[in-house]
Structure 1
Amino acid sequence: MTYEIELATAKATRTAWSCSCGADNPPTYDCCHDCQRPSWACANCGTVNASVWSQCQECENSIPAEALGDRDEGYEMTYEEFIGLQVGPRRIGGWYDHGDATSEYEVLAIDRGPREQWPTWQITVRGKDGQAREHCTGWDPRRDRIVAQTPADVTIVSVGRLHDDVEGEYADVLQEATIAVDLRVHFRDPHSLSQEMRELTAHDQAVRDTVMSTPGIRDVLSATALQIAGYLAGPSSAPITVVTQCAGGRHRAATTAMALRAVVSGDVEQAAAYGLADSAKTFTERRLVVELVHRDLDKAVVDR
């Protein structure tokens, strides 16, 4: 079953949940389809909530305290993920508003913490009146919107080369790529392993495990991370675009794009799930803005 069908069913039964990035998700997804941020299920009524909400959107039950902590101890969300949800899509230099046209503001600084005193994180903004203010108000997609977004430091796009006839913003992304990683020839295609695997995508753990267990794949991704670091060390501050490619865009390209996003974001814990913790450690202090785009992940399976 494809994401579109599952989502349509969830919306029809009013069981879909919305992430802070604005994407809607089926209740079976334990992380956002678009940005990979986690969700939590209410112990009282079972409703799936985006982790940005501290209370259940159905029964107002509070998020369990154990939702924050170390995944090695069985918890669901790290502090870094929690802060990511609070900051939302806001970036330094971008303009946003939180309700109406008169509430537009520019982000001057983001202190993700953790700080020794309350609040544990802080954002500094300047309104149209020229006044700078500090607060720790989390991003609420039901109220907040992007007015003018600054470009990401690194944009990672996964594509399926069998869909090169697509139109839209990322149709010509290969021509614009700073780094292009082609996985079609040298790494096995989960599509060819079984009919069951063919219907799955990188949102499924079985696919991620299969891709990341392929000999050589971690070496390629580690080398790609070094390339990214090399480009960032240059004298130009121009944004970097990295494209991962496979045949259909549902397995190899999408999985490796997710892994690279974890590495370049400096999320050591998430990168460890891909066997790339050491590569992520070199990015932990950089606080890069990394955007992940799956151009073809949700397209129908291509017969081949």
Structure 2
Amino acid sequence: MSTQPDNAMTHDVGAQDANERIASQLEPREVGGRYYNGYWQQEYEVLHINDKPDGWRSWEMTVRWADGRETTHGTAWDPKRDRVIAQPPQPDVTIVSIGRLHDEDEGEWADVLQRATIALDLRRHFRDPHALSVDLRQLTAHDQVVRDTVMGTAGVREVLAATALQVQGYLAGPTAAPLTVVTQCAGGRHRAATTAMALRAVIAGDVEEAAAYGLADAAQQFADRDLVVHLIHRDLDKDVVDR
């Protein structure tokens, strides 16, 4: 017999119903895809999808129309009038940064550790900028000083270079399959996000960007691979967790 409280079960069912409703309204649309809106009779590209917007909407997306305008709205897919122009290419490698203090949060990437091919846990071996400096606490990997602090930590570059070699090994295997690499820290705003950004530059073969992280040599090995690499920050923009 389950010991789960009835209200928890109701919450889980309600969340599942909400996710299914959002998925049915989005239908085939994905970030990077191009579609035709039959009502406005225009093509558009999906730039961003937000399933937790502020306000009354349960989801919204930002699109760029054929005339260059960008708008944000929550218009449901109409299979009778809308159509797919081009779906985005499926990633060879998806890199997801997470903060383990947010593991109870719901969302598309809530169970990403269960799907991970490679998972890096940075919590114990590498110092936390959150604890290192009060000045860094409210900043994130969007800020250069945070990236410099993380990448300046002894051992971080070696771990990332070794992870890139792991990715090469998996890609060389006889069975073609997409990879998911997860970087983990406590809050998801500093260590995990910075190392995910660095890995994306390396595996995408972007030598110039990787050089900013001190990983140009590692990126050079991927320079001619033309891999499709997606970068997801699950928790980067969430509020600071008091701890």
In structure 1, give the amino acid aligned to 2:183: T
Question: In the aligned structure 2, how far is the partner of 1:173 from the partner of 1:194?
Answer: 30
Is the CA contact (8 Å cut-off) linking 2:205 and 2:219 kept in structure 1? Answer: yes
- Can you list the C-alpha shifts for 1:132-172, whole angstroms capped at 9, x where unaligned? xxxxxxxx823398764442110000000000001111000
Runs of 5+ unmatched residues, structure 1: 1-87, 91-95, 105-139
Q: What secondary structure, in the 3-state scheme, does the structure 2 residue paired with 1:181 have?
A: strand
Question: In the aligned structure 2, how far is the partner of 1:268 from the partner of 1:89?
Answer: 23
Q: What secondary structure, in the 3-state scheme, does the structure 2 residue paired with 1:287 have?
A: coil
1:152-231 aligned within 5 A: 152-231=91-170
Runs of 5+ unmatched residues, structure 2: 1-30, 44-62, 69-83
Question: In the aligned structure 2, how far is the partner of 1:268 from the partner of 1:100?
Answer: 42
- Can you list the C-alpha shifts for 1:26-82, whole angstroms capped at 9, x where unaligned? xxxxxxxxxxxxxxxxxxxxxxxxxxxxxxxxxxxxxxxxxxxxxxxxxxxxxxxxx
**Structure 1 residue aligned with 2:54:** none
Q: What secondary structure, in the 3-state scheme, does the structure 2 residue paired with 1:242 have?
A: strand
Q: What secondary structure, in the 3-state scheme, does the structure 1 residue paired with 2:170 have?
A: helix
Question: In the aligned structure 2, how far is the partner of 1:142 from the partner of 1:208?
Answer: 34
CA shift at 1:236, angstroms?
A: 1.5
Q: TM-score, normalised by structure 1?
A: 0.55
**Structure 2 residue aligned with 1:287:** 226
Residues 1:97 and 2:40 aligned together: no
In structure 2, give the amino acid aligned to 1:89: G
Question: In the aligned structure 1, how far is the partner of 2:89 from the partner of 2:186?
Answer: 31
Is the CA contact (8 Å cut-off) linking 2:183 and 2:193 kept in structure 1? Answer: yes
**Structure 2 residue aligned with 1:249:** 188
Structure 1 residue runs of 4+, over 4 Å off? 98-104, 144-147
In structure 1, give the amino acid aligned to 2:209: Q
Q: What secondary structure, in the 3-state scheme, does the structure 1 residue paired with 2:65 have?
A: coil
Sequence identity percentage: 67
Question: In the aligned structure 2, how far is the partner of 1:172 from the partner of 1:147?
Answer: 28
CA pair 271-303 structure 1, distance change in 2 beyond 3 A = same
**Structure 2 residue aligned with 1:265:** 204
Question: In the aligned structure 2, how far is the partner of 1:276 from the partner of 1:141?
Answer: 34
The structure in which a higher percent of residues are helix is 2
Q: 1:234 aligns with which of 149, 155, 173?
A: 173
Say how many residue pairs are matched: 177
Query: Which of 171-180 and 233-242 deviates more?
Result: 233-242
Q: What secondary structure, in the 3-state scheme, does the structure 1 residue paired with 2:64 have?
A: coil
Q: Highest relative contact order (Cα 8 Å, sep 6+), 1 or 2?
A: 2
Q: TM-score, normalised by structure 2?
A: 0.68
In structure 2, give the amino acid aligned to 1:141: R
